[in-house]
Amino acid sequence: MINQSYTNIEIIIVNDGSTDDSIKFIEPYLDNPRIKYFTQINKGLGEARNVGIRNASGTLITFVDSDDWVDLDLYGMFFLDRMRDKNGADIYRTKTKFRYPIQKDRQGNYKIKSGEMIRVCMTSDFFLEEADAWRDEAWEIMSQRRDVKFFLLTKRPERVADHLPYNWGEGWENIFFNVTTENQQRADERIPILLDLPFRHKGIMCAPFIGPVSIRKYLEYGQIEQVLCDGARPCNYDWVKSLRQECVDFNVTFVFCGTGRRFLKDGRLYKIEGNGLQSQQAYRSGMSYRGKPIHFDLYDDLGYPIPDDRLHVPNFRERCQTCVMKIICNGCSDCGSCEKRERDR
């Protein structure tokens, strides 16, 4: 909280009669002028929050519980949204992108080529409750494009079984289903559900990677085909090495996408600012590993299998040769996003 990129905040700590060592963790910060500290006999969460509200002097209030993860840009993003008169918590159906997978060019060809991969809702969650009303239409689009791979990512695997399309059967070949596993607790909650679900292609994404994760016992089932890992608050290199080794042992592709802003290596904490630099350092670490290729059986509009030589061939430019994402990238479409990352370095 004290390292937020947006600094015009006050941090109110309410110690609700804790009987553990909480105060030892709080004391070193009490000199910070942005921190207000209150203590009371235990009255429960609601009353603790009321104390915070009564003593807040700002116009916007958020609650951060002890098991919450807070991105360093959280309040900066709130601030920017406010300046633009937007609410980042709004959930809405995008106007132009939603049907993009079935849009055609002037020649009547799909804009997305057979064999390309589309990453769906990467900054949100495909299985959000608020999106239930639109999901059938999204499934319909994916069903129409059995020649394109769709990468789905969720933190809510427990909702998935009840929200699959009526014609799902044993699963569609073109859907690559992934769950996020930020630490061991989340891995142990979500991966067993992932293994039980009827998907033909499964992967996990340890992002933000905030604690050591061991997935060896899950890899033994042979269902997980890819593991992505992206560091966050101090990301320990030992966690990355150990997770990678498990993937290597099972010949599963492992991609270390970024170090995060704080990277702990050989007992030294490195501050690495900028997403570009974080991915560059991840590339230099040589931790990514190309395991067994993932083969998707893709079909044309008439339901015939498409041979590999008719599928999209990724086009890589010079800068791609040293990009950590190359292993899983569709190739360069000259969209400009990589240049933006370069500028962030």
Nearer to ligand SF4, 76 or 314 (CB): 314
Smallest separation, CB 333 to ligand SF4 (Å):
7
Using DSSP's 3-state secondary structure scheme, residue 11 falls into strand
**Residue count, binding to ligand SF4 (CB under 6 A):** 9
Strands ordered across the beta sheet of 253-258: 117-119, 149-154, 175-180, 201-209, 224-231, 253-258
Burial classification of residue 294, based on how many CB atoms lie within 10 Å of its CB (0-12 exposed, 13-18 middle, 19 or more buried): middle
Nearer to ligand SF4, 217 or 319 (CB): 319
Among 183, 332, 339, 340, binds ligand SF4 (CB under 6 A): 332
Nearer to ligand SF4, 111 or 317 (CB): 317
Nearer to ligand SF4, 174 or 280 (CB): 280
Using DSSP's 3-state secondary structure scheme, residue 221 falls into coil
Smallest separation, CB 287 to ligand SF4 (Å):
16
Tokens 């991915």, residue? 279
Q: What does the alpha-carbon distance between residue 320 and residue 261 come to, in Å, rounded to a whole number? A: 22
Strand partners, 253: 226
**121 makes contact with ligand SF4 (CB under 6 A):** no
CB 246 within 8 A of CB 219: yes
Parallel/antiparallel/unpaired status of strands 262-265 and 268-271: antiparallel
Smallest separation, CB 295 to ligand SF4 (Å):
21
Smallest separation, CB 332 to ligand SF4 (Å):
4
Treating both helix axes as pointing N-terminal to C-terminal, what angle do 275-285 and 337-344 enclose, rounded to 10 degrees? 90
- Which DSSP symbol is given to 234? S
Nearer to ligand SF4, 206 or 328 (CB): 328
**277 makes contact with ligand SF4 (CB under 6 A):** no
Nearer to ligand SF4, 185 or 315 (CB): 315
**338 makes contact with ligand SF4 (CB under 6 A):** yes
Which two three-digit tokens encode residue 75?
């309040």
Runs of H (alpha helix) within 89-236: 132-144, 184-196, 216-219
In the shown chain, the binding pattern of residues 307 to 326 toward ligand SF4, with x for contact by CB under 6 A and - for none, equals ---------x--xx--x-xx
Smallest separation, CB 340 to ligand SF4 (Å):
10
Nearer to ligand SF4, 311 or 320 (CB): 320
Smallest separation, CB 274 to ligand SF4 (Å):
15
Question: Given the rule CB under 6 A, which residues bind ligand SF4?
Answer: 316, 319-320, 323, 325-326, 329, 332, 338
